[in-house]
Amino acid sequence: MPAPFDSTSGLILIPAQLPKGKEQEDAAKGVADFRLDSKQLETANGLLKLSPFISGQPQKILGDIYEGLKVKDKPEEGKKVNIIYEENKGLIKGPTIVLKEWRADCDEATRTAYLIAWESGITNIIMIEMKWTDPKTNERTGHSFIVLMPKNKDEQPRIYDFTYYKKGKPIVVENNDIEAAIRKEYAVDATSPDFRITTRNNLNEVEAAHYEFVGKYYAKPSIQNWKNSEEAYKRAASLMPAEFEYIWGVAVSYENQHRWKEALEFYKKCYEFEEGKDNPRVLGALGTAHAKLGMIKEAEELLKQALGCKPDKKLRDRIEENLEAIEQR
């Protein structure tokens, strides 16, 4: 009989054990919290050596946070935070851990800075996430930073970038096109054909993005802690219920725990999105879930519908194998 259909990747599922060593220890910690309570915020301000903020001075506040995150406890020795980027690596850290360890990738540092700035009264900030493929290594990479948006018409947006040492650098935005301005500012990175920009416009979006990365981390083939992935994606979905990828992440985590009733519920929600209509991956997942729950006729119809939506070769092969398995029952 054909192997079971895996709607998440189009590949045959192979059971995997948790890795040994540090990754296993990290995987056992659970889902990192993003928010800081008032006591944690007070501790964060102390760790960053931030003086009491004066309301109405967002540029000064962001500048202080920037300096606090860039330099540890001995600024005279110039000890810098080790800020790098490695996609989906170590992203289970919450802001408290980042502040204590003084080591972070640019996503972690940026999200921590965004959170502290927001809790300090700055709401006219956005977080930019950029991703592309490194032409030298052919690996996915990326970068993130904060932009302080102007409140007055005659002011310019300012970049706070922990990795590229841009503290409050103004950028020129023409025709209200912030993405074009970012592409111009980061022209070298933007040469990649798959370069893309995501803008996070409020705290809910930033927090949800954090939990999405946590969910992806636990879904890695080397970890596959689907319960933690489920928890992370459910947090993201509760913050941004209109985001397809977060709902999809919940569904996939249920599927990989063989909780087919819940998986079907969330795959149905995915189908209700615009990007879910005529989507062979969504239809294939729905077909698989129906089959697992004994609704064979519905499963067959959905899988045939998925084939009609021109899936790629790998997905087509899996759908055809699943149909064959149904026919052999």
Judged by average pLDDT, the poorest of 29-38, 44-53, 68-77, 251-260 is 68-77
Q: Where do runs of H (alpha helix) occur along 102-243?
A: 106-119, 178-185, 203-219, 226-239
What would the pLDDT profile of 126-154 be if each residue is shown by its tens digit?
Answer: 999 999 887 778 878 889 999 999 988 88
> Mean pLDDT over all residues of the chain?
85
Give the whole-number percent of the chain exceeding pLDDT 90: 58
Closest residue by Cα to residue 44 from 115, 149, 105, 110: 115
Between CA 263 and CA 297 the distance in angstroms is: 18
CB 126 within 8 A of CB 158: no
CB 93 within 8 A of CB 83: no
Cross-strand pairs, 21: none
Between CA 69 and CA 270 the distance in angstroms is: 39
The mean pLDDT value for 104-131 works out to 91
What domains are there in the chain, each with its CATH number?
22-204 (no CATH), 224-327 (1.25.40.10)
Between CA 35 and CA 111 the distance in angstroms is: 10
pTM over 0.95: no
Give the 3-state secondary structure of residue 238: helix
Burial of 267 (C-beta count, 10 Å sphere; 0-12/13-18/19+): buried
